[in-house]
Structure 1
């Protein structure tokens, strides 16, 4: 009887302390699925509008320092959500850097996070590589579309990271 009582007590302790490796508090699970403070969740990623103006390379490095990259955009819905976030933070639809660049090879656009460049929202006549423009700004012109811009220009930026 002592062995049975001791076994039941041991099983209860393992269950209550989480020693079985399966215990996760609701807060732990929620924290793992949510974004850091100030970031906006959309689908499987977190986005952050950075109002400080930087050139494209500095903006990419800044995003990397926070565990992400300049944002890649994979659908109209995602682009619209990024635009809404910018307006929510800045109260204006500011132009901003995202992670698209053709600096490695002209007209071969890549995302800085390595994902496939399968969606774009270029303005009419863009990208035009006017005098060596190789980096992507969003919210350009009244149409709020994409434009290739000089990478050494100074703009706010949008970072993205996985949740």
Structure 2
């Protein structure tokens, strides 16, 4: 498949991913996207290699709550449906993206 967990580069992309989640599940489920700080604490990157310039963190996030290693990024957290850093082993739905090339 050659896809990655989705990266988010602006609010429009974020809302499009939310629409996909709502369409598939009929709710705003907490969902994995492709952000991580596993390589260097508090240095977030997209696993597809694109620049991590846009953020939508919830207030007080990312926080490594309880001093646990929270290296993965979930969206649709809390009342504001924003981002939260969480432990990577937790099962949850995910959104993947794949670049496509059109040949004319």
Q: What TM-score do the two structures reach when normalised by structure 2?
A: 0.91
* Counterpart in the other structure of 2:47: 112
Deviations, residues 35-66 of structure 1 (Å, cap 9, x unaligned): xxxxxxxxxxxxxxxxxxxxxxxxxxxxxxx2
The count of aligned residue pairs is 98
1:15 aligns with none
Tell me which protein shows more helix as a share of its residues: 1
Indicate whether 1:92 and 2:27 are aligned: yes
Matched, 1:122 2:57: yes
Q: Which residue number in structure 2 is paired with residue 134 of structure 1?
A: 71
Larger radius of gyration: 1
Q: Which runs of 5+ in 1 are unaligned?
A: 1-65
* TM-aligned CA deviation for residue 129 of structure 1: 1.3
* SS across alignment from 1:106: coil
CA distance in 2, matches of 1:140, 1:91: 16
Question: Cα offset for 1:75?
Answer: 0.3
Q: Secondary structure at the match of 1:88?
A: helix
Cross-structure match for 2:2: 67
Q: Pairwise CA RMSD of aligned residues? A: 0.7
Q: 5+ residue gaps in structure 2?
A: none
Q: Under a length normalisation based on structure 1, what TM-score does the superposition of the two structures give?
A: 0.59
